Amino acid sequence: MSRVTDRKFRCMKCNEIYGITTYDSVNVTIDYDIKERCLSGDIFHFECPHCHNSYMLSYPCLYHDQENKFMVWLYEDEKVIDAFESSFIEQLISLGYTLRRCTDMNSFIEKIQILDDGLDDRAVEFAKYDSFVDYIENKKRDPKEIEGIYYHGIDNDVLKINIRTIDKGATIMIPYEALLEEINNHKDLFGIDDENFPVIDSRWIIQIFEANQNIS
């Protein structure tokens, strides 16, 4: 079951106070209808009943997929790992669960999409990093033009990475299996020491490449 909390929120436009409902946790295996609202970001969308101004509000939320065995926690504070007993975490890991923490709403939604597609998120971050390098070095573009790099799906074992820029951007196609092979060849670099809701994002992959310039 999903767990919700009723809160009071003051509209940032008209200053009126109204009630909102936020999701502390969602279990999409039991409550399947909530899945699409998570993927679309609808659970973070609110509208003031007084002035009808709409907002996207980020708040802590735990996404649980029992069927695909993963949890994604939207929580900025690293201390979130204290919320679970270590024995429970160990049990989840022993059952084959992937546990991840995200620090912002967009990465939370993207992470759910990646894991829901059955992918290794390390490989996706690798692909996004490679796409950035390819766009800057091979296409001779200015890094300042880039507004974001996003996972856009997988088709016939090929990852689609979207690069959003000031003008129009580009889509980079990267073979998924080649990335997995590279990760397996460098397990000492891409291994995750702490499986208790680690943050696997652009900063994580950049740190790896900055520390190991010889990765092919």
pLDDT in tens, 96-112: 999 999 999 999 999 99
- Rounded CA gap, 207 and 191, in Å? 13
- Rounded CA gap, 113 and 39, in Å? 7
Res. 166 pLDDT band, cuts 50 70 90: confident
How much is the pLDDT for 84? Answer: 65
Res. 216 pLDDT band, cuts 50 70 90: low
DSSP assignment of 140-200: ---GGGEEEEEEEEEETTEEEEEEEESS--EEEEEEHHHHHHHHHHTHHHH--S--SS---
Q: pLDDT tens, 139-150? A: 777 888 899 999
How much is the pLDDT for 144? Answer: 86
Res. 215 pLDDT band, cuts 50 70 90: low
How much is the pLDDT for 152? Answer: 97
First to last CA, the chain: 45
Q: What strand order describes the sheet that includes 98-102?
A: 3-10, 17-27, 61-65, 70-74, 98-102
How much is the pLDDT for 211? Answer: 86
Q: pLDDT tens, 7-23? A: 999 999 999 999 999 99
**Closest C-alpha to 112, from 172, 36, 45, 184:** 36
Mean pLDDT of the chain: 93
pTM for the predicted model, two decimal places: 0.92
Give Cα 177 to chain centroid, integer Å.
21
Residue predicted with more confidence, 133 or 213:
133
